Structure 1
Amino acid sequence: MIQPGHINRVIVVAVVLSAILEVLDSTIVNVALPHIQAAFGATTDQATWILTSYIVSAVVVMPLTGFVARRIGRRRLILTAVTGFAAMSIMCGLSWSLETIVAFRLAQGMFGAFLIPLSQSILFDAFPREKRGQAMAVFGLGVVVAPVLGPTVGAILTEYFSWRMVFFVNLPVAAMALLLLAGELPDDKTEEVRIDWKGLALLAIGIGCLQFILDQGETKDWLSSRVIQVALIASVLGALGFIFHTLTSRHPVVDLRLFADRNFALCNMIIAGFAISLFGGIAILPTFVQNLLDYPVIESGHLFIPRGIAAGVSMVLTGSVLVTRFDPRLLTGLGMLLTAAGNFMLGSLNLNAGFWQLAWPGFVSGLGMGLVFVPMSILAFESISKTRQDEASGLFNVTRQLGSSVGISLVGTWVVRGLQTNTAVLSQNVTPYNPAARAYLAPLGLTPDSTQGAAVLGQEIARQAEMISYLTVFNNLGLLALATIPLLFFCRAPRADQRAAAPVH
């Protein structure tokens, strides 16, 4: 039993470990994907389903957190989710074909979808108001740093052991979380809640098809593909049907009336923009340094260490000190500025960029991450009642996940389209009569009108065109982070006694 004024550190550790399972797995597999592709003889398009299947199932199931928690109880749900996640991790590591690993990743995403929303709401309710800020700072430390360091951990495990280890590494974390939760988390009441099958089906169609479009759109050339066209129609119809059904149903599976709260609605918009800017940059950085700057896998993973350290320090400082002294709108705005600055720093590099020129922007963005997450949660949940925490947390995390998916999809499209445009523009200006081209080839003993000289120029044009594309993407992400800041002015400032009491999302 939790004593008044006492923080149960065992539960803090347990729920942080539970959340780390999900957020770490969302990035650690990316680095190992080429090795998995080679092991199963899969094409690049086929291999992306290993990532897509997990994300689609997680996004579809996550909004149901509040409904399922009321029906079977938080304790039973989180224990089931951790156990199922661990079991599916084992099966992913033992997979014998592409089809089996995709199926197991689908199931893993369904179990993982509950972990972060449940962890947040358990902590939010378990601790005295005056000490919740400290507990949330520790929780945020794990949730923010884990996905940033995921590529580093994944690179080490893949390089020195096997791609299968990126799944098996979940087991000790899951085992510890289960032991602590089973011993410390008390039973809670359940409710006889009717299952809204119609709403559930419409939700799955709307969000599932949207996530499929975001994941496969660039590969299939967006609306040029009949599959994407059908998915778009299905997503729109599913979403509209779900909204209408939810607003007219007495017992909806997800209560969209939560968005009637001004702060909650605005903060969902802000977190979506922040996720696009942040996770879009994180997703594209390994490809940028490995493919264009010829960084080895291990060193590309090391680039994320300064970002992770900065995010951890910033998160602890913000959660334990800053949120009690400053307006969370000010802290969030500062975090957005730092996130934008990090992207702009990356957008000013050249092909000769060294390790620290690439790492410092991540450090700056990491400071911004820590400044955003705790204050954003304070703003978003300022007026959300205790009984609606699970449901609101699920919706908030769906928005964040969809934002990160949009970011990953956008940067992929921007790079490909930019590469085509930049190559065409640069090629027009490089001719055998161009003095700059002759000067570039002269030290190599070549001329632009020779076969070898033309080949060297073509390679350099491709490199420069790709570099310009990446720099444009980083600058666009920086501008997007800045564009979300004005929304903060429309948020209500929380009362001083609430600043240390909101959950981190």
Structure 2
Amino acid sequence: MSGEQVKWGVVVAVVMTAVLEVLDSTIVNVALPHMKAAFGITSDQTVWILTSYIVSAVAAMPLTGLMARRFGRRRLIMTAIIGFAASSALCGAALNIEMMVLCRILQGLFGAFLIPLSQSILFDSFPGEKRGQAMAMFGLGVVVAPVLGPTIGAILTEHFSWRAVFYVNLPIAAFALSLMAGGLPKEEPKDVPIDWTGLTLLILTVGGLQMMLDLGESRDWFSSHFIQLCLLIFVFAGVAFIAHGYGNARNVVDLSLFSDRSFAAANIAMMGFGLAMFGTLAILPLFVQGLLGFDVLNAGYLFMPRGLAAGATMVITGSLLLRLFDPRLLVAVGLVMTGLGNLQLAGLNLNAGFWDLAWPGVTSGIGMGLFFVPMSTVAFQNISRERQDEASGLYGVIRQVGSSVGIAIAGWQISSRAQIHWSDLGAHITAVSPQAQAWAQQMGLPLVSPETAARMGQIVAQQAQMLAFRDVFLLTGWGAFAMLPVVFLMQRPRHGAGAPAPAH
């Protein structure tokens, strides 16, 4: 598909396909409490609704290149869209937790191919000098959709049912499929041999890592034998996979892709960015609903300014800025803005209102728009068309792992830091403390009474949680800044400021 004859129907279709997958990654979170009540399950069981999807998707995503060569890109993406839609419908009709988890596994397996294939198809739809525009359009789906997911999920859950967060996928899938059916060229499948040893080791590696990250917090990390087993599987299978695949032309993943300096550095930066962005996004609903008392709808609306800022910045970046500046500078500014937004959140207190929370989101949203577009164009500047699918699959895995690491670290830090702050604050509340005496007098309560102790305990718990959230916002903010040196390990595109080199 030549860039001079861009098939805009296919372009819209692949962007909608990207939206289909990434929207599902955050829209479901809002509905979890309702599913918990509907199925009569515990919080630990609720975690499996998210974990089952993520683990299956991450395990399958690196196989995108292999599957595209074996079955053809057109056949694979259309099958993936149909399978994702069908499994979404089954999730919406689930009668119990067992059926839901099984359907979420299927959803993840089909959804794994949607983002990498969408990205590589979009790259092929534009010539090199216009790939900044292509990635801006792709970014609108990949970055803005998960940011707006909680808002859409809150509206659907509040006004309809939790089942609607799955059924909403059906019209999107039907629209994308109808546009794509007549636009993508057919490809002859190839008889590509499968390295079953490498495939098994790969699934064990990414599955072990993802299970450890997703279930670590709920199982108290390495005090759990299950988490210890996941760590051992990840380490030993990972080492065996690298040893088996290094220099192996038949390996399921072409590890030589990481010999490209720009691609390797971009993956490191993307992992760090995923940690900073998704670590923050994961705890914001808990922060604003659990601690600040926002209702579901207002908590959802809080993400809209962030998403709108990211979308507007992406459009500007893709159409104008990449022609004028070294894209690595834009990536660096994006990291700085993302970090600053998180640091602004760290400066809030328990009296924070809607716009106190929304403006830091706008700052981070601008950073997301500046980061994503130039990062993708620089990362793939030396990747040939034949390797686009595989490279996109690896890039997607790294992004997902980075977000999973960020979410795991954020959850762990909230829990551990809250306990530390509770102990520190509680140590200063005694019967002889002037502050405690002044507070009890102001409230008209006796200093030593069960009611006073309960009220004080509640205040200390709130302050301890607030300080824990502050610590995590600081951590994710500085995490974004820590990626700045990595940016300049990437090569500047040779054919203009924003244009990656043509595919070889």
Query: What's the TM-score, normalizing by structure 1?
Result: 0.97
Q: Please show how residues 367-446 of structure 1 align to structure 2 within 5 Å.
A: 367-446=366-445
Q: Please show how residues 96-495 of structure 1 align to structure 2 within 5 Å.
A: 96-495=95-494
- Helix, strand or coil at the partner of 2:246: helix
For 1:276 and 1:502, how far apart are their aligned partners in 2? 29
For 1:501 and 1:14, how far apart are their aligned partners in 2? 23
User: Are 2:495 and 2:501, in contact at CA under 8 Å, matched by a contact in 1?
Assistant: no
User: Are 2:314 and 2:369, in contact at CA under 8 Å, matched by a contact in 1?
Assistant: yes
User: Are 2:494 and 2:501, in contact at CA under 8 Å, matched by a contact in 1?
Assistant: no
For 2:344 and 2:66, how far apart are their aligned partners in 1? 44
User: Are 1:90 and 1:168, in contact at CA under 8 Å, matched by a contact in 2?
Assistant: yes
Change (3 A) 1:4 1:350: closer
Deviation at 1:7, TM superposition (A): 2.2
- Helix, strand or coil at the partner of 2:427: helix
More divergent stretch after superposition (271-280 vs 446-455): 446-455
For 1:460 and 1:47, how far apart are their aligned partners in 2? 29
1:363-397 CA-to-partner distances (Å, cap 9, x unmatched) read 10000000011111122112112211111110011
For 1:199 and 1:124, how far apart are their aligned partners in 2? 28
User: Are 2:431 and 2:437, in contact at CA under 8 Å, matched by a contact in 1?
Assistant: yes
- Helix, strand or coil at the partner of 1:495: coil
Q: How many residues align?
A: 502
For 1:145 and 1:493, how far apart are their aligned partners in 2? 26
Q: Which residue of 1 aligns with 2:70?
A: 71
1:427-450 CA-to-partner distances (Å, cap 9, x unmatched) read 100111111112222232113322
AA aligned opposite 2:6: I
For 1:67 and 1:220, how far apart are their aligned partners in 2? 35
AA aligned opposite 1:129: G
User: Are 2:131 and 2:377, in contact at CA under 8 Å, matched by a contact in 1?
Assistant: no
AA aligned opposite 2:339: A
Unaligned regions of 5+ residues in structure 2, if any?
Answer: none
AA aligned opposite 1:350: N
Deviation at 1:496, TM superposition (A): 3.3
User: Are 1:431 and 1:448, in contact at CA under 8 Å, matched by a contact in 2?
Assistant: no
1:109-152 CA-to-partner distances (Å, cap 9, x unmatched) read 00000001000101111223333332332222122211100000
Q: Which residue of 2 aligns with 1:27?
A: 26
- Helix, strand or coil at the partner of 1:238: helix
AA aligned opposite 2:466: M
AA aligned opposite 2:461: A
More divergent stretch after superposition (47-56 vs 242-251): 242-251
AA aligned opposite 1:73: G
More divergent stretch after superposition (487-496 vs 100-109): 487-496
For 2:214 and 2:379, how far apart are their aligned partners in 1? 28
1:201-260 CA-to-partner distances (Å, cap 9, x unmatched) read 110111001100000111111110111111111111111111111115330110111111
Aligned-residue RMSD, C-alpha: 1.3
For 1:86 and 1:4, how far apart are their aligned partners in 2? 30
For 1:135 and 1:403, how far apart are their aligned partners in 2? 24
For 2:497 and 2:196, how far apart are their aligned partners in 1? 37
Deviation at 1:192, TM superposition (A): 1.5
Deviation at 1:11, TM superposition (A): 0.9
Deviation at 1:486, TM superposition (A): 1.0
Change (3 A) 1:453 1:395: same
User: Are 1:319 and 1:500, in contact at CA under 8 Å, matched by a contact in 2?
Assistant: no
User: Are 2:2 and 2:126, in contact at CA under 8 Å, matched by a contact in 1?
Assistant: no
Deviation at 1:405, TM superposition (A): 0.3
For 1:502 and 1:49, how far apart are their aligned partners in 2? 43
Query: What's the TM-score, normalizing by structure 2?
Result: 0.98
- Helix, strand or coil at the partner of 1:351: coil
AA aligned opposite 2:449: S
User: Are 2:327 and 2:497, in contact at CA under 8 Å, matched by a contact in 1?
Assistant: no
For 2:167 and 2:360, how far apart are their aligned partners in 1? 32
User: Are 1:132 and 1:502, in contact at CA under 8 Å, matched by a contact in 2?
Assistant: no
For 1:11 and 1:441, how far apart are their aligned partners in 2? 67
Deviation at 1:492, TM superposition (A): 1.5
1:91-111 CA-to-partner distances (Å, cap 9, x unmatched) read 000001100000000000000
Deviation at 1:502, TM superposition (A): 8.0
